[in-house]
């Protein structure tokens, strides 16, 4: 299968995982595995938003910097950020210095806190949109960029005040957080 590659360890992987060691590790240990909990999911949707228009490898390489800058993505801590924090982050080379994405992360933390204070959870919301799909895709061309479920999730999050959560970004989050399994058939990774 052309969309699979065999790594130096002899294991077949999705072809995108072969271009850098960080990709290989992410593919083998995280991507497509279930992520639960508001803080963990807030981190993932924040990183997906920062990735928009960039290589995921850039985000992976700056991940620890993001975790430090956004206090482990603890929602209440990030929700308390103000303009001084935005300016500090704009000068922090350990993160992607995009004012709109930084502001969106802070606003999304505030939206998450409001959701929690109303008795809801990001975990419950996101996982309520998990689609039922029994088979893995055969090729990369079988992998969609958005689905009805990611579109509905995007709409629900926006209604709660979240930003930078479009259908394509939410489908990438669904892949990353294990709501869908887009490891190709024949890939060694199993959930």
Q: What pLDDT, in 10s, does the model give residues 60-107?
A: 999 999 999 999 999 999 999 999 999 999 999 999 999 999 999 999
pLDDT digits 0-9 by tens, 3-46: 899 988 999 999 999 889 999 999 999 999 999 999 999 999 99
Q: Give a yes or no: residue 47 inside a domain.
A: yes
* Gap between the Cα atoms of 122 and 156, Å rounded: 11
Structural domains in the chain (count) = 1
**CB neighbours of 176 closer than 8 A, spacing ≥ 6?**
30, 31, 32, 35, 44, 48
Q: What is the CATH number of the domain that holds 96?
A: 1.10.340.30
Confidence of residue 134 (pLDDT cuts 50, 70, 90): confident
Cα distance between residue 51 and residue 95, in whole Å: 11
Q: Which residues are bridge partners to 5 per DSSP?
A: 13
What pLDDT digit, counting tens, does each position of 110-130 carry?
999 999 999 999 999 999 999
Encode pLDDT of 140-157 as tens digits: 999 999 999 999 999 999
Residue 185: strand, helix, or coil: coil
Is the CA virtual torsion 58, 179, 154, 138 positive or negative?
positive
Residue 191 lies in a domain: no
User: Which residues constitute the domain of residue 106?
Assistant: 4-123+144-176
pLDDT, position 191: 63
Q: Is residue 138 a part of any domain in this protein?
A: no
In a domain, 134, yes or no: no
pLDDT score of 135: 86
User: What's residue 155's pLDDT?
Assistant: 98
Residue 44, class by beta-carbon neighbours within 10 Å (0-12 exposed, 13-18 middle, 19+ buried)? buried
186 within some domain:
no
Smallest Cα–Cα separation from 45: which of 139, 132, 171? 171
Q: Is 183 within the bounds of a domain?
A: no
Tell me: pLDDT of 1 over 70: no
Q: Is residue 37 in a domain?
A: yes
Q: Could you give the residue numbers annotated as active site?
A: 26, 48, 56
Answer yes or no: is 48 within a domain: yes
* pTM, full prediction: 0.95
How many angstroms separate the CA atoms of 13 and 109, rounded?
35
């Amino acid at each position: 299968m052309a969309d699979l590659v065999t790594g130096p360890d002899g294991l077949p992987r999705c072809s995108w995982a072969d271009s850098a060691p960080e990709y290989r590790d992410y593919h083998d240990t995280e991507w497509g595995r279930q992520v639960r909990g508001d803080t963990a999911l807030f981190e993932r949707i924040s990183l997906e938003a920062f990735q928009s228009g960039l290589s995921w490898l850039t985000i992976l390489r700056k991940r620890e910097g993001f975790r430090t800058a956004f206090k482990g993505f603890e929602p209440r801590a990030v929700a308390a950020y103000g303009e001084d924090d935005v300016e500090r982050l704009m000068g922090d080379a350990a993160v992607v210095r995009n004012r709109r994405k930084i502001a969106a992360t802070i606003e999304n933390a505030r939206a998450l806190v409001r959701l929690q204070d109303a008795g809801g959870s990001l975990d419950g919301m996101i996982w309520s949109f998990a689609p039922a799909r029994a088979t893995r895709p055969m090729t990369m061309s079988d992998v969609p960029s958005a689905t009805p479920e990611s579109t509905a999730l995007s709409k629900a999050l926006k209604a709660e005040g979240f930003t930078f959560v479009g259908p394509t970004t939410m489908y990438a989050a669904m892949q990353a957080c294990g709501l869908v399994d887009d490891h190709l058939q024949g890939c060694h990774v199993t959930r």
